[in-house]
Chains A and B, each alone.
Chain A
Amino acid sequence: MNAPLAGYNFAYLDEATKRMLRRTILKAVAVPGHQIPFGAREMPLPYGWGTGGIQVTAAILGPADTLKVIDQGADDTTNAISIRRFFTRVAGVATTERTEEATIIQTRHRIPEAALREDQILVYQVPQPEPLSKLEPRRAETKRLHALADYGLMHVRLYEDIARLGHIAKAYDYPVMVNGRYLMSPSPIPAFDNPKMHRMAALQLFGAGREKRIYAIPPYTEVRSLDFEDHPFRPIRAPQACALCGSRESYLDEVITDDRGGRVFVCSDTDYCGTRVAAQKGVA
């Protein structure tokens, strides 16, 4: 453990703020999928950079934890490196890029390819926690719709896609039903990742800083992507194999390589890809 920066409380936030966050997180676990408002604090980075996820991580983090942060699956992007460095400085916790070594994984818009375990917690950064926001902009109204479990609006929106395009045209932030009760935004993860949320062994916590909402999915909880009997949910994946590790199972990013239409597909999960490449080199 590194010595944390002097002059800051452990994990940056003051204790009263942590208590407020902790009470909110516990109630979020007790009511799976229900968004709970909380008093989001100003953090030393702008909204949209993961302030909600950071506050949730700060509230649960302890000196024995090992933290991994990914941004669209990658450990080596600016956002992920900044957040890891932030917690190294203010909490002195160990960080890692290996999914299996982490006890807390903060993520922006991906779920790691490796199956998570019971002793891990996945913290999502959420830009817009309200799945109905584009259909009903009034907060007071969406709150009532959730209370009544009235999700017809979302079904109609998905149906309209099918009527116009022949399929549900939502590749990310694909709405899910949690524990058969609450409609929930999975945050902008690819629809490809939705099935991983279903009965995941790890606890999943969601923090939206600008929108000031926290919600959660306890382990082993039903998470169903909305669909229709004759148009079942299908996770979408580019049909290629990863150009680096050859995986045909992982989620791929398309990378443009020149201005003449050249492109390659590589794994979005850098740890998954790197581990496979290292194993292949070891064998060769």
Chain B
Amino acid sequence: MLTPGFADPVLHAQAAFRAVLDAMSRPGRVQLAGPGLAPPAPLMRASAAVLLSLADAATPVWHDAGADADAWLRFHAGAPVATTPRDAAFVLATGAPPTLAALDAGTEEEPERGATLLIQVEAIEEGTGLRLTGPGIEHEHRLLVRGLPDGFVAAWAANRALFPRGVDVILCAWDRLAALPRTVAIAEG
């Protein structure tokens, strides 16, 4: 049976969006999103909340989350499902994500068309781990990510070199999320 989406579609979508906006403007800071949501496995609350608040008929979504999650996203977000990751505005990876280079990075004139990649990981925590610098960060933010795909830091450096083109990443761990906009520099601590 299909579980409900946001109990209050207007105010809960606003709260989820503000969490993403805070995360995107302060990379590496952890925000909470999607309390009360019960999306079908393997969707996590935070990733479900991000898609419910941002995806709709105008944004093709690609995901690897299986049939239950597909039915849930189609019903609640109404987003068309992209056949390949490159065609998607939002890409949700519950398992091994497609490589960053396989996603739409936008064009030099329209870098805003670059995709948003949601990666579900085991845990994210502030204070230790990766060293993040760039716009939105006063000195340095540190972010510990458990379950980050292998070779992500190297792939990220290549993504960042494309600026202003590029892919933006939102890391989701249960009801926590942190964002990595394309401007952020990542160094392994």
Contacts and interface: CB of A to CB of B under 8 A. Distances in A.
A181 interface: yes
Given A10-B11, A179-B183, A19 B53 contact: yes
Interface of A: 9-10, 15-16, 18-20, 22-32, 34, 36, 59-63, 118, 143-144, 146-148, 179, 181-182, 199, 201, 203, 216-222
Given A24-B112, A29-B24, A34 B164 contact: yes
Nearest to A179: B135
Interface of B: 9-11, 13-15, 17-18, 20-21, 24-26, 53-56, 58-59, 89, 107-109, 111-112, 114, 116, 135-138, 163-164, 166, 168, 181-183
Given A63-B11, A203-B25, 13 more contacts: A15-B13, A16-B56, A26-B20, A26-B54, A27-B114, A31-B182, A31-B183, A62-B14, A118-B26, A181-B163, A199-B138, A216-B25, A222-B135
Nearest to B170: A26
A219 B11 CA distance: 25
Contact of B10 (A15, A60, A201): A15
19 contacts: A15-B9, A19-B53, A22-B17, A23-B54, A23-B59, A26-B21, A26-B54, A29-B21, A29-B136, A30-B166, A34-B111, A34-B164, A62-B18, A148-B108, A181-B163, A182-B164, A218-B26, A220-B135, A220-B137
A45 to B, nearest CB: 22
A246 to B, nearest CB: 33
Contacts of A218: 24-26, 135-136, 181, 183
B112 A31 contact: yes
A182 B108 CA distance: 12
A181 B164 contact: yes
A173 to B, nearest CB: 23
B17 A60 contact: yes
Given A24-B112, A62-B11, A219 B18 contact: no
A105 B114 CA distance: 29
A72 B13 CA distance: 33
B133 to A, nearest CB: 10
A145 B123 CA distance: 42
A222 B14 CA distance: 29
A31 B42 CA distance: 31
Contacts of B9: 15
Contacts of A34: 111-112, 164
Contacts of B10: 9-10, 15
Contacts of B138: 199, 201, 219-220
Contacts of B163: 31, 181
Nearest to B78: A16
Nearest to B22: A203
Contact of B24 (A20, A26, A36, A148): A26
A220 B136 contact: yes
A196 B164 CA distance: 25
Contacts of A222: 135
Nearest to B15: A62
Nearest to A28: B112
Contacts of A61: 14
